[in-house]
Amino acid sequence: MLESWRTKVAKQQPHYQAEDKLTEITQTLRTRPGLVYATEIERLTGELAAAGRGESFVLMGGDCAETFATTTEEQIRLKIQTILQMGVVLSYGASLPVVKIGRIAGQYAKPRSLDVEKRADESLPVYRGDAVNGIAYTAEERQADPSRLLEMYQHCLATLNLIRAYTKGGFADINLLHKWNEGFKTNPAYSRYESLAEDIRRALKFMVASGAEIEGLRDQDFYASHEALLLEYEAAMIRPAPHNDGLYNTSGHFLWIGERTRDIEGAHVELLSKVKNPIGVKLGPTATASEVLALSEKLNPQNLPGKFTAITRMGAEQIRNVLPPILAAVQAEGKEVVWLSDPMHGNTIQTDSGIKTRHFDTIFNEVEGFFASHQAVGTVAGGLHIELTGDDVTEVLGGAENLTEVDLEQRYESLVDPRLNHQQSLEMAFRVAELLQNGTNENLS
């Protein structure tokens, strides 16, 4: 049995009062079909291995927190479309295939800094994501409810169904991607990117005209990832593969362990060390080389390429100092690590009126620091991990539309962290494409 994690310290777990109900729900989940399949998971590991060698570039993106209410056809479609469009721009910039992975179909649980939320004289359990409890500030809603795990499973199933239809059924067809930058043309920064955009348009047109492998272009692989936070759910989704003796976590293709739960002795690392999926670990500014080496040993004892991904989120201020020695140590030990940049989580600020936000320029600055660190050490910058949405929200400051603090109040919908909106996401893709084309000229030494 897969129970060793139960003997370890499990941080960030809900306190369920109805334990019998939790057991009943997890038993039901164990009998349900997996959400993703072993062969897809293995294919992704292979694609991540290529990214580790610099032969492809990873784009992982989506909401900070999915919610049941926003798992609508339109919102899923816009998100997928945004990621596919960014993929076209990045692929052109890098002259490499882009591995597209959504933060989607499972991103319903959040780690929180405090267990309770106080308002006036009252104090209630904190909102931990729709997979756990409701956001409304009432005792009833904030109670952790195990039946939400089953509800999440159903939402993930519906989301994946739509993803498969869109990405295998012609939605990503090159003729449609042809129109990939419609909508962005009205962006004030468009003229800056016009020649790159025109180059991409001509390249796509040429491919269609030359009858290039249209089949391969129509059907895109689009993978699902989330933070593997709720151990009862994740454990219940682990299944033996039909074709080998491995165990696979069928809750998503790629699972990551968050900054707050990555202790080498903790239950999250223990559980995920048992499955064959590619596993990511977030690394904040306090991460050390010995921690990363220990994590890679535990999560990838055979040192297989593509199995272990480090997602750095150190902050624009710190990355240029903190990351290079870690890269050098990992390189010296010969460890197979795919490196991704999460330029969001080390750069969160609060406005004077208490709104959680980030600035576009600071986010991009961390991406530049990420590339410069890899260039200085001679390691491979494998890709990006971004919080984004396909909607026109106003959550992140700056970008070409130059969103200001006043604008944040217009359409701030994220329940947890601020996301790049559709325009800011495309702009980020263009900026990173430029970096990939030109190399980075930063000198870190």
Token pair of 99 as six digits:
């591995």
Decide which of ligand PEP, Mn ion, none touches 42; Cβ closer than 5 to 8 Å per partner kind. Answer: none
User: Do 308 and 299 touch, CB atoms closer than 8 A?
Assistant: yes
Q: Which of residues 398-437 bind ligand PEP (CB under 6 A)?
A: 417
State how far the Cα of 85 lies from the Cα of 177, in Å rounded to an integer: 7
When the beta carbons of 192 and 260 are compared against ligand PEP, the nearer one is 260
Stretch that binds Mn ion, among 127-135, 309-317, 391-399, 415-423 (CB under 5 A): 415-423
Residue 242: beta bridge partners? Answer: none
8 Å CB contact between 340 and 382:
yes
Nearest Cα neighbor of 228 from 242, 210, 249 is 249
User: Applying CB under 6 A, does 128 fall inside the site for ligand PEP?
Assistant: no
Q: Which range binds Mn ion by CB under 5 A, 133-141, 247-255, 292-300, 417-425? A: 417-425
Cα→Cα distances 270→26, 211, 264, 289, 375, Å: 19, 49, 8, 20, 33
Nearest Cα to 300, choosing from 279, 282, 270?
279
Among 54, 111, 285, 305, binds ligand PEP (CB under 6 A): 111
Of these partners, ligand PEP, Mn ion, none, which one is at the site of residue 258 (CB under 5 to 8 Å by kind)? ligand PEP
Q: Given candidates 64, 80, 90, 230, which one binds Mn ion under the rule CB under 5 A?
A: 64
Residues 290-329 that bind ligand PEP (CB under 6 A): 313
Residue 270 near which of ligand PEP, Mn ion, none (CB within 5-8 Å, type-dependent): none
Residue spans of beta strands (DSSP E) within 328-400: 338-341, 349-350, 356-357, 383-387
| Sole window of 139-147, 253-261, 398-406, 420-428 interacting with ligand PEP (rule: CB under 6 A) | 253-261
Residue whose CB is less far from Mn ion, 130 or 417: 417
Separation of alpha carbons 421 and 106, rounded Å: 20
Which residue in 52, 87, 252, 258 binds ligand PEP (CB under 6 A)?
258
Q: Which of ligand PEP, Mn ion, none is residue 313 near (CB under 5 to 8 Å by kind)? A: ligand PEP
The residue among 265, 276, 269 whose CA lies nearest residue 238 is 276
- Residue 335 tokens read as 């460890």
**259 contacts which partner out of ligand PEP, Mn ion, none, CB within 5 to 8 A by kind?**
ligand PEP
> Interaction with ligand PEP in 54-83: which residues (CB under 6 A)?
64
Centroid of chain to Cα 364: 17
**CB of 110: closest distance to ligand PEP in angstroms?**
6
Stretch that binds ligand PEP, among 79-87, 119-127, 254-262, 428-436 (CB under 6 A): 254-262
- Other beta carbons within 10 angstroms of residue 155's beta carbon come to 19
Q: Does 345 bind ligand PEP (CB under 6 A)?
A: yes
Q: Of 271, 167, 148, 279, which Cα lies nearest the Cα of 223?
A: 167
Q: Could you tell me the smallest distance in angstroms from the CB atom of residue 179 to Mn ion?
A: 31
Instruction: With contacts defined by CB under 6 A, name the span among 50-58, 113-121, 256-264, 285-293 that binds ligand PEP.
Output: 256-264
- Of the two residues 395 and 417, which places its CB atom closer to Mn ion in the complex? 417
Residues 6+ apart with CB under 8 A from 438: none
Under a CB-based contact definition with an 8 Å cutoff, are residues 107 and 155 in contact?
Answer: no
Segment near ligand PEP (CB under 6 A); pick from 37-45, 179-187, 232-240, 252-260: 252-260
Which residues, in sequence order, are CB contacts of 259 under 8 Å at separation 6+? 111, 282, 283, 284, 313, 345
Which of 395/417 has CB closer to ligand PEP?
417
Q: Does 386 bind Mn ion (CB under 5 A)?
A: no
Q: Provide the strand spans (E) within 41-115.
A: 57-62, 98-103
Residues of this chain that interact with ligand PEP (CB under 6 A) are 64, 111, 227, 258-260, 282, 313, 345, 417
Residues of this chain that interact with Mn ion (CB under 5 A) are 64, 417
